[in-house]
Structure 1
Amino acid sequence: MLSVIIVSYNTRGVTLECLRKVLASKNIDLEVMVVDNASSDGTVEAIEKQYKDIGILRNKTNLGFAGANNQGMKIAKGEKFLLLNSDCFVEPVTLAKIYKLDLDVVGCKLLNKDGSVQPSWGYFPTLRRILQLMLFVDNFPVIRKFIDSIHVRDVSRYESQLEVDWVTGAFVMVKRDVFEKVGGIDEKYFMYGEEMEWMYRIKRAGFKVWYSPVATAIHLLGASSSNRAPAVTGEMKGWIYWFSKHNSGFEQKILPWVILKGCILRIFLKPKLSSYYAQAISEIIGRRTG
């Protein structure tokens, strides 16, 4: 049996559509649960009205991606768990196809609403990889075909099944024994980057993480986040926390200045997003030096 865990936060419409798609799945035994992070838009009430057999965990506060998914995995009954964003819509055969793969951790091929490939796997953050991202090295099509980026964006690298460092938490299937041996997602992360760190620990424990295009799903991206500022600052905060856990003291000291230089460059080169990078400087660099 596959336990599908869907975290919702003020996403009533897309959550209902996500559930409709999941429940239309063919040739698979499912347990479906929704962990609601204190939504105020009537999400829980709408689910209870339309879907009588869906398990619902109703939190009094927003526990974030990590806390809510950990709740679900702790009580899930399946041999495998699927963490599924509420804005991620599966095809009728998606879950059966991905479940048949005998892999420790696996993510499927995610598509944007227009059918284009959505980047969904990559390499763990290092100083070099963060620097090449902040300096736009990853933006050059010829270069991105070959470099090991945090976010792999070359679509030609999404056509074959391969072992990777991490896959996005928007759609990731995990064997029960992986969770039981490694534990859950670090709840000091609230949102953005937590799946990378979890999969780093999973790989250190001897398991493998895979990307597979045998199944697809549509991901709307960010339905539970009203603007891009949390994503910009959240990923950078995630890097800093990652380095505090897994990197040397020297690298921990260098990282904020790499982020600072990159944010300043992006303020000038991406003026429409300048307020987000200014906020990142204020929240991340200002807090550490103030």
Structure 2
Amino acid sequence: MDQLAIVILNYNGQSYLERFLPSVLAHADGFPVYVADNASTDNSVALLRDRFPEVHLLQLTRNDGYAGGYNAALQQIKARFYILLNSDVEVTPGWIWPVLNLLEHTPRMAACQPKIRSYDRRSHFEYAGAAGGFIDWLGFAFCRGRLFDTLEEDYGQYDDDRPVFWATGACLFVRADVFHQTGGFDELFFAHMEEIDWCWRVQRLGYEVWTCGQSVVYHVGGGTLPKTNPQKTYLNYRNSLMMLYKNLPSDRLFDTLLLRLVVDGLSSARFLLTGQWRDIGAILRAHFAFYGRLRDLRLRRRQLPAQTEATHLPVYTCSIIWDYFAKGRKTFAALNWSAKSVRWPS
């Protein structure tokens, strides 16, 4: 069994493999690199065979998204730790060791991420993960270094190592036994927010999720599905509702979901003002898709393990939307962190 395996999930990402796989191989530090191909229809597989024979190629028979693709791939890889790495990430010398050392010396740490900077604006954080993620009490995700579309410059303010609520799937170090113990990602999500759902579930078991400030990678972002694509809007809205329904404690479930439905409706006004009709349609589709999956979600909710008494989930008790848009708090440090993190018992 390997100590660590680097696993890249690919779907029609030939251009990204050509651009970024050389940096991964150059800085793999002797650890094996796998590419799990999600039934690509471009020339990704031929490229890997011809130009990167040192890469271990896993060919999956269909595209089951991020969640299903990684679940299938990691079943075939024996290692103590995995790095789940997007194909559009440029790694840096020594990027593995600070995170791996944290994992090895923190037994209750199930997952960890490095700092994620923007590939195109290299002094600034990137949208998908930045320096570690949180959610507010309505389930809206945000990061140290990124609130909505405001991306902070990285001047060392997040160079610490600390627990967070979620770590990004763009570059996610995970403890293999915990990943398999929890059944991996929920394949209902297909793509987007499945890592947040998984991080929530592992914390229910008493594990921790961290960010490591001493490791840096650069992420293009939106490589498979651009941020402006209505399909991304659909997945984000649908999956956020599914995540809340699965994981919220019973005494918070109805009120929180009702408020989310109202807020999601109001948020469509932003798309209305800019004429983004397809995004409005995506929000409507997301809600109906959520209702259509309630039977499956109820089953998953009943199967969740009881939350341990020692678990304190770092949930922001205020509204990130209100803080950002009404109070003008545009950075993580400006948020009202005097409101202490809360525990959500089951």
Deviations 1:133-168 (A, max 9, x none): 8xxxx8xxxxx989x979995557533222100011
The 5 A counterparts of 1:104-183 are: 104=109, 105-113=111-119, 114-115=121-122, 116-119=124-127, 120=129, 121-124=132-135, 126-127=137-138, 130=140, 158-183=158-183
Answer yes or no: is the 8 Å Cα contact 2:9–2:36 preserved in 1: yes
* Percent of aligned pairs with the same amino acid: 23
- Which has a greater percent of helix? 1
Paired with 1:96 and 1:160, the residues of 2 have a C-alpha distance of 15
Paired with 1:72 and 1:289, the residues of 2 have a C-alpha distance of 30
Per the alignment, residue 267 of structure 1 pairs with: 272
Alignment partner of 1:3 out of 2, 5, 23: 5
Per the alignment, residue 141 of structure 1 pairs with: none
Answer yes or no: is the 8 Å Cα contact 2:88–2:223 preserved in 1: yes
Paired with 2:165 and 2:285, the residues of 1 have a C-alpha distance of 28
The 5 A counterparts of 1:1-290 are: 1-25=3-27, 28-102=29-103, 103=106, 104=109, 105-113=111-119, 114-115=121-122, 116-119=124-127, 120=129, 121-124=132-135, 126-127=137-138, 130=140, 158-226=158-226, 227-247=228-248, 248-268=253-273, 271=274, 274-285=276-287
Greater length-normalized contact order (CA 8 Å, ≥ 6 residues apart): 1
Paired with 2:180 and 2:150, the residues of 1 have a C-alpha distance of 29
Paired with 2:246 and 2:79, the residues of 1 have a C-alpha distance of 31
- Structure 1 residues 145 and 14 mapped into 2: Cα distance closer, same or farther (>3 Å)? closer
Q: Alignment partner of 1:39: what SS?
A: coil
Q: Alignment partner of 1:240: what SS?
A: helix
Answer yes or no: is the 8 Å Cα contact 1:31–1:78 preserved in 2: no
Q: Which moved more, 1:219-228 or 1:77-86?
A: 219-228
Q: Alignment partner of 1:166: what SS?
A: coil
- CA shift for structure 1 position 265: 3.7
- CA shift for structure 1 position 238: 0.9
* CA RMSD between the two structures: 2.8
Paired with 1:215 and 1:258, the residues of 2 have a C-alpha distance of 36
Paired with 2:149 and 2:136, the residues of 1 have a C-alpha distance of 9
Gaps of 5+ in 1: 139-143
Q: Alignment partner of 1:215: what SS?
A: strand
Scaled by the length of structure 2, the TM-score of the pair is 0.71
Tell me the matched-pair count: 273
- CA shift for structure 1 position 233: 1.9
- CA shift for structure 1 position 37: 1.2
Scaled by the length of structure 1, the TM-score of the pair is 0.83
Answer yes or no: is the 8 Å Cα contact 2:133–2:144 preserved in 1: no
Answer yes or no: is the 8 Å Cα contact 2:114–2:211 preserved in 1: yes
Answer yes or no: is the 8 Å Cα contact 1:3–1:32 preserved in 2: yes
Q: Alignment partner of 1:282: what SS?
A: helix
Paired with 1:186 and 1:125, the residues of 2 have a C-alpha distance of 21
Gaps of 5+ in 2: 293-346
Answer yes or no: is the 8 Å Cα contact 1:191–1:234 preserved in 2: yes
Answer yes or no: is the 8 Å Cα contact 2:95–2:217 preserved in 1: yes
Paired with 2:79 and 2:150, the residues of 1 have a C-alpha distance of 31
Answer yes or no: is the 8 Å Cα contact 2:238–2:287 preserved in 1: no
